[in-house]
Each structure stands twice: as C-alpha cells, then as structure tokens.
C-alpha cells in the first residue's frame, strides 16, 4: 500500500460500499471539538477500514475541509494537502 503522501486524488465513490463507518453516527466523524480526544473514536474505526486510502483520496480530491476522512482529521489533511502541493511545485520546477 502506498504511503498516505502518495494518495492519488479521485472522485470515485465505489469505495463507500465497504466503508467501516457505514451506519455510524455522523457526529462521530464530524465532532464539534477540534480536540484530539473528540476524533479518537472515529480514527479507531478508520484504522480498521479496508477503504481508508480511497476515502482519503476522495476527501483530498473533493476538498473536504471538515470531519474525519481516510483516518485523518481536517488539520492533518490540510497539512497533507500542503505537503502534496509543495512536492508538486518542487517537481515542476
């Protein structure tokens, strides 16, 4: 499995059928607090999910700025997007 830094953005939604979070309460994945404890339960579900990579790629491709996607918090995805953007710029120069 490629590293999370290598997740290719995609808008494909087929992965949702195998989501470990199917049927979970929405507020579990969209906690009101930014505290790490608030995300812990959702991240534990993500850790067991077979489609984590596809979920993360979708979140990146569709610029999901809220909630837990692909085993990452919104802040973690923001940092990942920045790293990916910086890497693309370095490769292009």
Residues of span 48-67 touching ligand SF4 by CB under 6 A: 49, 51-52, 55
Whole-angstrom distance, CA of residue 16 vs CA of residue 52: 10
Query: What is the CA 93 to chain-centroid distance, rounded?
Result: 28
Question: Pattern of binders to ligand SF4 over 19-38, x per CB under 6 A?
Answer: xxx-------x---------
List of residues 6+ apart from 58 with CB closer than 8 A = 9, 10, 11, 12, 13, 15, 64, 69, 70
| Stretch in the footprint of ligand SF4 (CB under 6 A) among 1-9, 31-39, 43-51, 78-86 | 43-51
Please report how close the Cβ of residue 23 comes to ligand SF4 at its closest, in angstroms.
Answer: 10
Query: Does residue 74 belong to the site contacting ligand SF4 (CB under 6 A)?
Result: no
Residue 7's closest CA among 92, 77, 86? 77
Rule CB under 6 A: which residues touch ligand SF4?
A: 19-21, 29, 45-46, 49, 51-52, 55, 68-71
């Amino acid at each position: 499995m490629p590293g999370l830094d290598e997740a290719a953005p995609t808008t494909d939604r087929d992965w949702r059928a195998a989501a470990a979070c199917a049927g979970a309460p929405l507020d579990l994945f969209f906690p009101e607090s930014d505290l790490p404890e608030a995300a812990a339960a959702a991240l534990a579900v993500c850790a067991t999910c077979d489609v984590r990579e596809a979920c993360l790629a979708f979140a990146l491709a569709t610029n999901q700025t809220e909630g837990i996607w692909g085993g990452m918090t919104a802040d973690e995805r923001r940092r990942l997007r920045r790293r990916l953007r910086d890497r693309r710029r370095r490769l292009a120069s």
